[in-house]
Structure 1
Amino acid sequence: MPNDVKPADPRVETLLARMTVEEKVGQLGMFADMVRPFAPDVNPEANVRNAGEVLEQVRAGRVGALFNGVGAVQGREIQRVAVEESRLGIPVLLAADVIHGMRTVFPIPLGEAASFEPALAERTARATAVEATAAGLHWTFAPAVDIARDQRWGRGAEGAGEDTVLGSAFAAARVRGFQGGDLRAADSLLATPKHFVAYGAVAAGMDYNYVEISEGTLHDVHLPPFKAALDAGALAVMTAFNDINGVPASANHALLTGLLREQWQFPGLVVSDYTADMELVAHGYAEDDRDATRRAFGAGMDMSMQSGFYAAHLPALVESGEVPMAALDEAVRRVLSVKAAIGLFDDPYRSLDPARESDTSHLAAHEALARDAARRSIVLLRNEGGVLPLRRDARIALVGPFARDTDNIEGCWTLFGDRSRYVALEAGLRAALPAGATASLEVVDGCSMEEAIDGGIEAAVAAARRAEVVVLALGEPQRYSGEAQSRTRITLPPVQQALAEAVAATGTPLVVLLRNGRALALEGAVRDAAAILVTWFLGSQTGHAVADVLFGDYSPSGRLPVSFPHDSGQQPFFYNHPRTGRPETPDMSEFKARWREYPNTALYPFGHGLGYAPVEYGPTVVSAPVIAPDGVLEAWATVSNRGTRAVEEVVQLYVHDRVGSRVRPVRELKDFRKIVMQPGESREVRFHLQAAQLAFTRADGRFGVEPGRFDAWVAPSATAGTPAGFTLA
């Protein structure tokens, strides 16, 4: 869906001509919605107002948008005050952080990316939009499209992983899902790709930290998902907290104006992240609050969230001439044009229907979708001896702090989930067992998330000895990932590792269920378990989805969107790293690119995942030895299901540029396809590789292709497959 803001909308120009400077500035302010039930504890307090003060500001025309409050009835009252009691009657945008579900919670975005199904993300975003707009919202601060190559960074949970092609596909899909086919529809939710830009590249994986990055990496890795989201129709962009090579992203004229507006011709609005303009002072980039306002606005930030800086300082900056009136008018024009584009001038009470909010007819379909999305997000890392799927008549010990837990089911940035509908692991497994077999499931916590329980390990060991198989539910507490949750060691809490070691010592086969918001460095008994399933934070239907996979009602089809390292100290680690002059190869001495303790490899690479049948790949074949600069090459391999069960296989196309004017990555994902394969079926899976897909930011700073030799792999992961060579003429 193309962007359809119409800056020349006559209503916008008429309003602009009538507005005072204060009213113009008012349209550029976004504040916490204290009128409606508000999501608490999601941001530090700044410029806090009570409900009466908020409504008075709306009445005075000093508010462009409110955020993180919900409810159709009180939302109508906010809009009534804006439309009927303010001088100009301009409606307010009502926004919230609705990231991966509203009342129905879907898998965290990183988990959903493991499905390698952008169409699935489009469906869950669509369902989210239906529920969010019914609750009185027009706008969401999602999707997060940051590429996360360092798993210490907690906000990787909100994106699609370490790869740009995968991330771009999911960025576009989520925008399409949130916004739907008609921005004016009552169930269309305005999308906001964030955080612009390179937030996932913060140094040492520490949230809010600085970013030192080359222009080539910025343009080839971190910017493409934003471009994909904008091309899909997004009309808002949120700035990042970090600086980029010394210039804060929220006051970066080259990016917000030069690239976004002038080069990409983005017609929508740019909104700050929470108080990002205020933080220019702490950065040491602005002298004081007034200077921060001048720099942020001058760079191209249209709307200020929560700081109040624009209201406090923009009028005087306009009066002094430091901010031209024409620049103020242009920013207001963009905000008003977005309001017009989503239909607020035609129907100010759009998405504020109490009857629709109370309608629950969609819940069954959304829960079915949540269950399907969750099981499609699960990744089977290991399945030694075919311990999975489990027999329903087996004696099972479900052990671990996540066995009965529902407090750590949502994942980060879930503000409005209906907790009464969350399905714990125990409930899911019991529901999947025949009525007479539920006694064969014994449940023991063993420990809490981070602390020991008196007698807990002893009880877990006893249960393991009575069982034929142990399902060990371990992972990160929910608060370990998300904003401000950077970690130095991406391992399990020590008490959980101790539980795993004790249970493993019984000799009973171990199936580990990992609940996590990032790649983890697995150790000891967890690493060596017979079977390992990555179950992320799967949302409302967690228990049912995991049971579907454990008992074989669904063959796991997820693949890793992030590399699992051998050790935390490998971070940042990502599969598509540049080549080095001393690569780790068998014929080299110890003076090579590796660590003393570990090889320069992943424990489980990007793209890895297993199903319940072995899949075999033949060698990669290409259609021609040479491809023209504007040509297309076919690459294919024969993929065969050698098992007795149907499986879904994610077939991946990788390319390596052997010689470039800048050192090229060892491999780069160029395409992927998920296919269903029946038992014994063989299929030739073909990809069309356009020469343009081989382009990169060259040493001269220009984006384009370079002639030379390439390798192509059609493979099940970033480290598998047999390559075929070709030449770009």
Structure 2
Amino acid sequence: MKQNDLQALLGEMTLAEKIGQLQQVTGDFYTNDSAEITGPLSNNLLSEDDLKNSGSVLGLSGATDTNAVQKKYLENNRLHIPLLFMADIVHGYRTIFPIPLGLATSWNPELVKETAAVAAKESAVSGLHVTFSPMVDLVRDPRWGRVMESTGEDPLLNCLYAESVVQGYQGPANDLINNADHIAACVKHFAAYGAPEGGREYNTVNMSDRELRENYLPSYQAAINAGSKLVMTSFNTIDGVPATVNTYLNRQILRDEFKFEGVLISDWAAMMEAINHGVAEDHRDVAKQSLKAGVDIEMMTFCYHQFVEELISAKEVDEGLLDEAVLRILELKNDLGLFENPYRSADAVKEAAVVYSAEHQQVALKAAEESIVLLENKNNVLPLATSEKVAFVGPFATSSDILGTWSWKGEISETASVADVLGTDYPTAKVTISPVADVFSVTAEELAAAKAVAKNADKVVVLLGETSQMSGEASSRTSIQLPEAQLAFWDEILSVGKPVIVVSFNGRPLDLSAVSEKVTGLVEAWFPGTKGATALLNILYGKVAPKARLTMSFPRNVGQIPVYYNHFNTGRPINFDDLGNKYVSKYLDVPNTPLYPFGYGLTYTTFGYDHFKVAVEAGAEPVITCQVRVKNTGQTAGTEIVQWYLRDIVGQVVRPMKELKGFDTVELQAGEERVVTHSFTFAELGYVHHDKKRYPDHGEFEVMVGSHSESVLTTRITL
């Protein structure tokens, strides 16, 4: 349908039909006949006639169901405007990939793009049109449960992943008509949702406008520049104004500065929460403020439905604002090709063949293998040999709860556990398995059994972690250690005197200090998804060498939070060569570094760096070209992620101690060496100044390269 046709369609719509397009409801409004009379309809002031005009549906999928709802809807909608079906497909539809924080540790944007494309394909054939993903919030506080949906603490990586995920969902050239096995992306949560005070869900966000623009907004802009069709508002405040009714955020920044022309949708009930925030008097006031702020779709509250017509009649809101919102929704439906084919890709026969296919599971396996981080490997305790007697003990020895909380269609019942995979893929391995039934308690019998098999083993793998419900939305924690029962269990296993490898399944950076000091091996598995157990064992037994690197620092304890690599210096900076000086910025009771820093991760070999050189090509736009020789100094092949950092020594405002500016992935055989070259343009050295504009300064810079943020070679240049 051409733009003129959309304008003509808009002109035919009644006021009620327009307002209906702004309403999003859950699938049970259409699929539960009894609910239409006594449930959602009566509770939320919607009549059956109102449902004939609602523009979109949340949380309904499956080709048979979506097609049936679409068919019935079109039979009753006067102008035959099709419904949109949307859902939270965060890291996979039914084939579940590692949580986004885990995917990020792959440092492989192309792989992440591929996982998004698989999720899109499964979603599209199941009747979905839009996913509420990617979440691109920068996060520095692991107490916040939704850190599992983020890609970490670094603006550059967040931008790269935001772009990759949007491209994976929406396909080549964002052409959703000719790429019907793709779906529309919705970048969230706009904005700065990842910085709530105290790491507490839905809490206040308080930061300067310059900080917002420097570190938090770039990833949203990257997703928008990549073509994201939708943006979702966040629950938090920005400068004292809730994001959903924040005109500065949604009109000036999103529309005017970022040139976003797509659909802005509220998060679940976020519009009405302006009343609780204390900036709106009632639902009528909410509707007025939200429409003026530019919110196009109201998710699961009914302020627009109740009051927009009245507001327009009273001339408190211009009907032109309503028309703008409706036109954007119609344009999204048109971009998806729904006017020509309202059923799009939904096909029950194809759905059965595509969803959870063997091909998609192979992508999930690769993603999990590249996301598992080796944190400790003392005395080369890993990889294991099948000839060794190995005991696998703990709550995750037999648990399949490894998908994560946002695996909406993932099936734990069809997800293999570590014990399952040992039985199928490692039949000759000398293993014994002693499970624990509960992550929060260990019985005396379970402990005795685990210690018994540990005593008879050469090595012990202790599988610990969070349940999936301990991270994700509304899962903030003040303690980010493993549950006490697990720590006590692990300590008892340690007393047996055998080499112990701890594997942790979790959705956030944990405080692993109690474990890391005593353990022989330590593996961060995250919630690794559908093929997570297979991937883990492939790494433990050396079929695959670990290559993942952290994208978020692990604290030594909760009191260190926030601890992140790209922090500012202070007027009294710590001198690590003179720790006896008390009157500097430091903690007295803990080392003043993270337990595991940004960019950190081990593999089954080692790498050396030397011959670091930096050359500057002079001119109006200088180019900085860096070279370093990287050598595999170990006995096996391995993959190194060469990380390039920079520090602006003197800026108009304080600059971070280091900032990631690029990275290169290098695969080297044992003894092999390679010169790695990386160039930066002058513009890449820019930052946000007092005038809120991003540009670079001339002056002195430190250029750094290394294997992680705290292990670098450094040289200085002057531009």
Unaligned stretches of 5+ residues in structure 1: 1-5, 39-45
Task: For 1:284-363, list aligned pairs within 5 A.
Answer: 284-360=278-354, 363=357
Post-superposition offset of 1:691: 1.0
Q: Say if 2:535 is the partner of 1:542.
A: no
User: Normalized against structure 2, the TM-score is what?
Assistant: 0.96
Unaligned stretches of 5+ residues in structure 2: 33-37
Q: Does the 8 Å contact 2:136/2:188 carry over to 1?
A: yes
SS at match of 1:210: coil
Task: For 1:346-385, list aligned pairs within 5 A.
Answer: 346-360=340-354, 363-385=357-379
Q: Does the 8 Å contact 1:409/1:478 carry over to 2?
A: yes
Aligned to 1:449: 439
Deviations 1:372-429 (A, max 9, x none): 10010001111110010001111111011011001x2111211111334311111223
Post-superposition offset of 1:308: 1.2
Aligned to 1:108: 99
Q: Does the 8 Å contact 2:605/2:637 carry over to 1?
A: yes
Deviations 1:179-204 (A, max 9, x none): 11221132111101100000011111
- Mapped to 1, the partners of 2:491 and 2:232 lie a distance apart of 45
Post-superposition offset of 1:47: 8.6
Q: Say if 2:411 is the partner of 1:418.
A: yes
Q: Say if 2:52 is the partner of 1:60.
A: yes
Post-superposition offset of 1:629: 5.2
Q: Do the aligned partners of residues 49 and 377 (structure 1) sit closer, same or farther apart at CA in structure 2, a change above 3 Å counting? A: farther
SS at match of 2:317: coil
Aligned to 2:488: 498
Please tell me the residue identity of whatever aligns with 1:86. N
Aligned to 1:658: 649
Aligned to 1:608: 600
Q: Does the 8 Å contact 1:497/1:526 carry over to 2?
A: no
Q: Does the 8 Å contact 2:29/2:41 carry over to 1?
A: no
Post-superposition offset of 1:566: 0.9
Post-superposition offset of 1:162: 0.7
Aligned to 1:431: 424
Count of residue pairs brought into register by the alignment: 709
Task: For 1:616-631, list aligned pairs within 5 A.
Answer: 616-624=608-616, 628=619, 630-631=621-622
Aligned to 2:550: 560
Deviations 1:467-492 (A, max 9, x none): 10000101111111100111111111
- Mapped to 2, the partners of 1:628 and 1:587 lie a distance apart of 41
Q: Say if 2:390 is the partner of 1:396.
A: yes
Aligned to 2:214: 220
Match of 1:680 among 671, 676, 684: 671
Aligned to 1:528: 518
Aligned to 1:477: 467
- Mapped to 1, the partners of 2:43 and 2:422 lie a distance apart of 45
Post-superposition offset of 1:349: 1.3
Please tell me the residue identity of whatever aligns with 2:718. T
Q: Do the aligned partners of residues 69 and 441 (structure 1) sit closer, same or farther apart at CA in structure 2, a change above 3 Å counting? A: same
Task: For 1:73-88, list aligned pairs within 5 A.
Answer: 73-88=64-79
- Mapped to 2, the partners of 1:51 and 1:276 lie a distance apart of 18
Post-superposition offset of 1:135: 1.0
Deviations 1:214-262 (A, max 9, x none): 1121011111111111111101000000001201111111110101111
Post-superposition offset of 1:649: 1.1
- Mapped to 2, the partners of 1:166 and 1:66 lie a distance apart of 32
Q: Does the 8 Å contact 1:236/1:269 carry over to 2?
A: yes
- Mapped to 2, the partners of 1:683 and 1:47 lie a distance apart of 66
Q: Do the aligned partners of residues 554 and 436 (structure 1) sit closer, same or farther apart at CA in structure 2, a change above 3 Å counting? A: closer
Match of 2:129 among 105, 115, 138: 138
Q: Does the 8 Å contact 1:593/1:600 carry over to 2?
A: no
Q: Do the aligned partners of residues 593 and 249 (structure 1) sit closer, same or farther apart at CA in structure 2, a change above 3 Å counting? A: same
Please tell me the residue identity of whatever aligns with 2:692. G
- Mapped to 2, the partners of 1:373 and 1:327 lie a distance apart of 44
Aligned to 1:487: 477
Post-superposition offset of 1:568: 1.1
Deviations 1:301-337 (A, max 9, x none): 1110000111111111111111101111111111111
SS at match of 2:628: strand
Post-superposition offset of 1:628: 4.5
- Mapped to 2, the partners of 1:281 and 1:425 lie a distance apart of 48
User: Normalized against structure 1, the TM-score is what?
Assistant: 0.94
Post-superposition offset of 1:53: 10
Please tell me the residue identity of whatever aligns with 2:4. P
Q: Say if 2:578 is the partner of 1:587.
A: yes
- Mapped to 1, the partners of 2:82 and 2:671 lie a distance apart of 60
Q: Does the 8 Å contact 1:447/1:457 carry over to 2?
A: no
Q: Does the 8 Å contact 1:34/1:54 carry over to 2?
A: no
Q: Does the 8 Å contact 1:150/1:572 carry over to 2?
A: yes
Please tell me the residue identity of whatever aligns with 1:194. K
Please tell me the residue identity of whatever aligns with 2:423. R
- Mapped to 2, the partners of 1:372 and 1:479 lie a distance apart of 25
Q: Do the aligned partners of residues 561 and 50 (structure 1) sit closer, same or farther apart at CA in structure 2, a change above 3 Å counting? A: farther
Post-superposition offset of 1:77: 2.0
Q: Do the aligned partners of residues 421 and 539 (structure 1) sit closer, same or farther apart at CA in structure 2, a change above 3 Å counting? A: same
Q: Do the aligned partners of residues 501 and 617 (structure 1) sit closer, same or farther apart at CA in structure 2, a change above 3 Å counting? A: same
Please provide the CA RMSD for this pair. 2.0
- Mapped to 2, the partners of 1:176 and 1:103 lie a distance apart of 20
Please tell me the residue identity of whatever aligns with 1:699. H
Post-superposition offset of 1:50: 9.1
Aligned to 2:681: 690
Deviations 1:154-185 (A, max 9, x none): 10100101111111111110111111122113
Deviations 1:339-360 (A, max 9, x none): 1111111211102222222224
Please tell me the residue identity of whatever aligns with 2:133. A
Q: Do the aligned partners of residues 468 and 725 (structure 1) sit closer, same or farther apart at CA in structure 2, a change above 3 Å counting? A: same
Aligned to 1:255: 249
SS at match of 1:618: strand
- Mapped to 2, the partners of 1:16 and 1:360 lie a distance apart of 37
Post-superposition offset of 1:609: 0.5
SS at match of 2:307: helix
Post-superposition offset of 1:572: 1.2
Post-superposition offset of 1:527: 3.9
SS at match of 2:361: helix
Post-superposition offset of 1:522: 1.0
Post-superposition offset of 1:455: 2.0
Post-superposition offset of 1:627: 5.2
Aligned to 2:194: 200
Q: Does the 8 Å contact 1:514/1:535 carry over to 2?
A: yes
Q: Do the aligned partners of residues 80 and 151 (structure 1) sit closer, same or farther apart at CA in structure 2, a change above 3 Å counting? A: same
Post-superposition offset of 1:361: 8.1
Q: Do the aligned partners of residues 478 and 418 (structure 1) sit closer, same or farther apart at CA in structure 2, a change above 3 Å counting? A: closer
SS at match of 2:551: coil
- Mapped to 1, the partners of 2:692 and 2:614 lie a distance apart of 30
- Mapped to 1, the partners of 2:5 and 2:324 lie a distance apart of 15
Post-superposition offset of 1:58: 6.7
Aligned to 1:573: 563
Aligned to 1:667: 658
Q: Say if 2:111 is the partner of 1:120.
A: yes
- Mapped to 2, the partners of 1:71 and 1:52 lie a distance apart of 26
- Mapped to 2, the partners of 1:174 and 1:620 lie a distance apart of 34
Post-superposition offset of 1:15: 1.1
SS at match of 1:201: coil
Aligned to 1:43: none
